[in-house]
Structure 1
Amino acid sequence: MSTNWNLLHEKVSHHLQAIYVDVVIKTPVGELATILLQKMRITKDEDIIVSAAHNNYWDEGDIVMITYGDSITNEQERPLFTLLRFLHTYCKNSINNVHILPFFPYSSDDGFSVIDYSSVNEALGSWDEISRIANEYGLMVDLVVNHCSARSKWFDNFIKGEGPGSDFFFTADPGDDLSQVTRPRVSPLLRETQTAEGTKYVWCTFSHDQVDFDFSNPDVLVAFVDIIRLYIDKGTKIFRLDAVAFLWKVVGTSCINLPQTHEVIRLIRTLVEHVDPSIILITETNIPNRENLTYFGNANEAHAIYNFSLPPLLVNTLVTGDCRYLKSWMMSMPPAQNGTTYFNFIASHDGIGLRPAEGLLSDEEISTLVHTMQSFGGKISWRASAHGQQKPYEINITLFDALQGTANGPDKWQVDRFICAHAIMLGMEGMPGIYIHSLLGTSNDYEKVANTGQNRSINRRRWDYGELETLLDSPHSQHHKVLTRMSQLIRIRKAQPAFHPNATQFTLQLGNKLFGYWRQSLDRKQSIFCINNISDEEQAVLLSDINLIGTDVWINLITREEITDVGGFIQLKPYQTLWISNQDIE
């Protein structure tokens, strides 16, 4: 028997003891650990992979494109095939990882109410198409771990009181003290459900079609480990743990970020890294910044966490022309230790979350941002506060339209402002995630909002491939301009060692109209000064303020212009970016 297997079994048992410390479970912890290892096909007879916690399984070349399986369609082919064709045609030299949002059969929430975790939605394609994409790109897949569809077989069995799933769901009593529960929605928390065993009240964090699992039942954990192994077999390299902060519930608490939730993530980390050390876990925790940071653990939980505070702070910066809050936040962010990194994004299939701006922007500033976005055609989604008040939870708008102007109204700088936002993100410490509609410069889809009645639909347009192709090939269209400039920035970024996700980052003090930071490669050979004019007026940067070393040759990587006077100044146009480097790497 492998000694490594025994040590791994002991480690898994330790995780399980911590998870179920307050729960009486039928299966002994040691036996449960054996079951989980069997589900992951980690056997006693094989050499056990020993993973190093502080290895970086990513570099400056990693860019993730976020998309639905049917964001682009063609009547003649399955959407997943069309997606692959789009990637080949327009993204071959820029994108190397693809996050396909839930591609399983579902009943609501555009895929996040999963009916069957083990199959591909036939309207999109099959596992064959998924495998083709996984063979050419790093595949990122959602593990929708907090809840499933009320139309799933598991929930049918819960209602019947028999079969797999009959005891998978969390219930509470309407008389319980639920006043502390953190809610991302304003819908009632409990769903009254008639079952074979009488009336039960099922916990629904998000909607009554999304019924929450009860992870205090180990069978739920076993089922999800089975699912994880299936996704690995299908080529998954990155797991996005959806809404994972809500996973463990204890009545009388906030039911968010509980210790057992963190321990479940540590367990999943232990299991997947002993199958393939290069598999990455990313936690999707749309919560205040301080709480979000805890999901790194001690390099033993998430490999990456969503940098949720970045979208509201960056949009606020660009519409106010004032970077003080973005700068303060960046200075407060701890460097991610090796083996962990930030997952940076500024647009997603959801919207611009406002909870991660709490404590970073005042209520008044958030209110101003909300009103500005509404004036640009944005919608607002609400949540219930602890005192029953409705508070803005999320701004629903395409990023392209969110940056169409400033707090004073729309202006002529929309494309430049939009590119500036991405230049800031692409240069920052962390791995960039770019929503497909940001690559395409997509505007608000009001027709889809009207058809679905859902605010989030505004940023979930479904493009016809032929129409999109015409626009992308037209030099005068916003879509061509955006894709061309975005692709250029991405290609430059991918070649720079100083843009490694874990390279050193230092915030520059250049006033409130210029947002800047310095990056240095891990081998300390390359430095890049990233300076961005975040205002609608020209700004001068004094090169003496950033202390360029006079013996080095400095070049602006974006324009290819050499900096000849390191003691002079450069005039920046509105929303212009400089990437000043001492190494000319193309």
Structure 2
Amino acid sequence: MFQYLLHQKIKKICNEQLLDIAGVDHAFYIRFIANANALQDLYNTIYGNQKNATQDFDALLVLIIESYKLRKPVFRKKDQIKEQQSAWFTSNQITGMSLYVDRFAGSLKAMPERLNYLQELGVNFLHLMPLFESPEGESDGGYAVSDFRKIDARFGTLNEFKILQEKMQAAGMYLMIDIVLNHTSHHHEWALKAKAGDKKFQDYYYMYDSREIPDQFDATMPEIFPESSPGSFTYVPECNKWAMTVFHNYQWDLNYTNPAVFNAMLSNVFFYANLGVDILRIDAPAFIWKQLGTTCQNLPEAHTLLRLIKQCVHIATPGMAILGEAIVAPKEIMKYFGTESFTAKECDVAYNATQMALQWDALATGDTRVMLAAQHELLQKPFGTTWITYTRCHDDIGLGYDDSMIAAAGFNAYEHRKFLKEYYSGSFQNSPAKGALFSVNPKTQDARISGSLASLCGLEKALLSVPKNNNQSDSNVKDAIQNNSEIDAAIAKIILMQAQSMFLGGIPMLFYGDEVGYTNDYSYLGDPGKSYDNRWMHRPIIDWEKNALAKQKGTIENRIFSATQRLIQLRKSLAVFSDTKNITWLSPHNIHVAGFIRYNEEKKMYCLFNFNNKAAYITWFLFKEHGLAPIELVDLWSGKKHKVGSDHEYLVMEPYQFAVFELLN
């Protein structure tokens, strides 16, 4: 709808900012006008009743234009290319890795020399874990930010970051970094001013003179870290107030009912966009709006704020996609892609955390029925958006899928989750996994799981079972490793898990170290700043001598690296693995095997995954029930060809085997 006054206001500000709206800045101006109504409506939904709403909205318009003006020509050109590609992040050509710069390469300065290693693997998209300044000992892994525009000295400098970005761009690589919208460190400039009694900056946070209102909040807010940080408020002696601290007592929650907070944090969003960031990962967006009498999670206003951010980014810096890190139930995660008129206009990307957890469920039980029960809801993801698909990340593994999904598979939800926790913490009899429970709630016994991909798949225990004594030669130890069935099974499980994440649909995101089979690192126990958080066991410091073994044929590192490399190559070779909402899950012909079809106009690929430790038998009818009657198949992974048999005959899949079948005729 044409709104004369609003459009004239935008035109006036553009002219005041010396934009050439009929020339080089025309595309920006058209985007602005096209999205102005939605921008204003979203803003007024949140802030329309504020005393200075008109002035605050005008300040937002100026911020959008100023941020566009700061955008380098090279980034504007990249914006145009991405817009022509449309939903560029759904491409099968993108494969990611998430890493800590200091633990992977030592520093930002050293990162460029590691790009060749990543390119050899096939990785062309990097998620660099939090880089901006956070206090040593109170950093929460970098998610307690004290300065959103200063690289922490532990990693290097802002200039070194820019150099890395330029080298990545020259190499055709994409970049993702985090922004923590929900809170700041209590050492942030705003928090320091609030402690000193500055009312303006106290209003940037939720701060109260007594426990009255905090107690009302606590009555309905679940504890995030009940062991280490019970409750959601912390007393601040410097100003004799209580501050909301949902995560840790050193992380103060920002108050987005204050429009000054929104504009200040949006300015930081644009700062990152103009550093050349391709995807901005918004940490914990479910928490950014608080309201008494609720859980203060996943509230409608949080979605309105995300949509408002998306509109602003689309106008000023359209080449940057938005990822919402909402680790919530499937019904809730769908809302982060947007609903109704804002479908596919909220977050472009989200983590498929449910599928990740379901993979671990299937691996422990050897049963894929819970996984299959969840797919109806996961398939609701809108066209033009995509997932991050992954088996491990820096965080713990939550078991947040619905009880109804567990019940649909015939299991008792409480007993099922109890089994999974015991299996992966290694306390279940004969479990090959070696992990640990994280954030155990003493009231409910809820817990999550820590541990590296390799250790949870059994590699750590398998290596411990290899006999070692001083009389053995290196060649004997090597032979013992190469002929160890437990090691073989662990490696097969690692590749099975990565394969399903790779071919499922979305951006596959490896976690650094997993590509060469790093097991748990227990050195964190000697660091007082980390010892309380067992997630550090799966955040290794890279030993580049170990990684160099990836080139030595027959080593564990080589077997895992080369298989991961092949998975990436296979995915990139077939456009059918782009995420165009082109997946159909197969009905369960065998409860141990999960399967789906990926299809486009040219190809139909059958992907099957046996999560059991025994051979699985699949009736050949599976390949006929979707309108085709193929005569011959080839498994693009193994290279084996198969004649399709009669319906009463079977395809046999070995333990932890997967296959990517192409129909030959």
> Does residue 265 of structure 2 align to residue 189 of structure 1?
no
Deviation at 1:519, TM superposition (A): 0.8
1:215-254 residue pairs with structure 2 within 5 A? 215-254=256-295
Distance 1:68 1:512, change over 3 A: same
1:58-207 residue pairs with structure 2 within 5 A? 58=89, 59-73=91-105, 79-92=107-120, 94-107=122-135, 108-131=139-162, 132-133=164-165, 134-135=168-169, 136=171, 137-162=173-198, 165-172=201-208, 173-176=210-213, 177-178=216-217, 179-186=219-226, 187=229, 188-195=231-238, 198-207=239-248
What residue is the counterpart of 2:477 in the other structure? none
What residue is the counterpart of 1:13 in the other structure? 40
Distance in structure 2 (CA, Å) of the matches to 1:393 and 1:33: 42
Single out whichever of 270-279 and 50-59 deviates more from structure 2: 50-59
Deviation at 1:294, TM superposition (A): 0.9
Single out whichever of 198-207 and 31-40 deviates more from structure 2: 31-40
1:369 to 390, 410, 420: 420
TM-score (norm 2): 0.79
Paired residue secondary structure (1:443): coil
1:563-578 residue pairs with structure 2 within 5 A? 563-565=642-644, 567=646, 569-578=650-659
What residue is the counterpart of 1:429 in the other structure? 505
Figure out how many residues of one structure are paired with residues of the other and give that number. Answer: 569
Distance in structure 2 (CA, Å) of the matches to 1:99 and 1:80: 13
What amino acid sits opposite 2:364 in the alignment? V
Paired residue secondary structure (1:260): helix
Distance 1:240 1:90, change over 3 A: closer
What amino acid sits opposite 1:13 in the alignment? Q
Deviation at 1:111, TM superposition (A): 0.8
Deviation at 1:514, TM superposition (A): 1.3
Deviation at 1:7, TM superposition (A): 4.7
Deviation at 1:89, TM superposition (A): 2.2
- Asked whether the equivalents of residues 630 and 644 of structure 2 are also in contact (C-alpha less than 8 Å), the reply is no
Single out whichever of 120-129 and 250-259 deviates more from structure 2: 120-129
* CA shift digits 1:3-33 (9 cap, x unpaired): 7444544432211111225655566354243
- Asked whether the equivalents of residues 215 and 247 of structure 1 are also in contact (C-alpha less than 8 Å), the reply is yes
Deviation at 1:97, TM superposition (A): 0.7
- Asked whether the equivalents of residues 57 and 339 of structure 1 are also in contact (C-alpha less than 8 Å), the reply is no
1:398 to 430, 452, 468: 452
What amino acid sits opposite 1:366 in the alignment? R
What amino acid sits opposite 1:115 in the alignment? S
Paired residue secondary structure (2:439): strand
TM-score (norm 1): 0.90
Distance in structure 2 (CA, Å) of the matches to 1:322 and 1:406: 23
What amino acid sits opposite 1:36 in the alignment? L
> Does residue 437 of structure 2 align to residue 380 of structure 1?
yes
Q: Structure 1: which 5+ residue stretches go unaligned?
A: none
Distance in structure 2 (CA, Å) of the matches to 1:164 and 1:456: 37
Distance in structure 2 (CA, Å) of the matches to 1:277 and 1:583: 42
- Asked whether the equivalents of residues 92 and 574 of structure 2 are also in contact (C-alpha less than 8 Å), the reply is yes
As a proportion of its length, which structure holds more helix? 2
* CA shift digits 1:187-240 (9 cap, x unpaired): 221110134xx4111111110111111111111111112111111111100011
* CA shift digits 1:245-272 (9 cap, x unpaired): 0001112221111121101110111111
What residue is the counterpart of 1:542 in the other structure? 619
CA RMSD of aligned residues (A): 3.0
Paired residue secondary structure (1:79): coil
Distance in structure 2 (CA, Å) of the matches to 1:104 and 1:484: 34
2:557 to 479, 482, 493: 479
What amino acid sits opposite 2:192 in the alignment? D
What residue is the counterpart of 2:660 in the other structure? 579
Give 1 or 2 for the bigger CA radius of gyration.
2
What amino acid sits opposite 2:255 in the alignment? D
Distance 1:403 1:24, change over 3 A: farther
1:441-520 residue pairs with structure 2 within 5 A? 441-451=517-527, 452-453=530-531, 454-465=533-544, 467-509=545-587, 510-520=589-599
Distance in structure 2 (CA, Å) of the matches to 1:248 and 1:42: 30
Distance in structure 2 (CA, Å) of the matches to 1:377 and 1:569: 35
What residue is the counterpart of 2:471 in the other structure? none
- Asked whether the equivalents of residues 289 and 299 of structure 2 are also in contact (C-alpha less than 8 Å), the reply is yes
> Does residue 353 of structure 2 align to residue 325 of structure 1?
no
What residue is the counterpart of 2:605 in the other structure? 528
What residue is the counterpart of 2:383 in the other structure? 338
Distance in structure 2 (CA, Å) of the matches to 1:335 and 1:63: 23
Distance in structure 2 (CA, Å) of the matches to 1:206 and 1:355: 18
- Asked whether the equivalents of residues 460 and 520 of structure 2 are also in contact (C-alpha less than 8 Å), the reply is no
Distance in structure 2 (CA, Å) of the matches to 1:33 and 1:9: 12
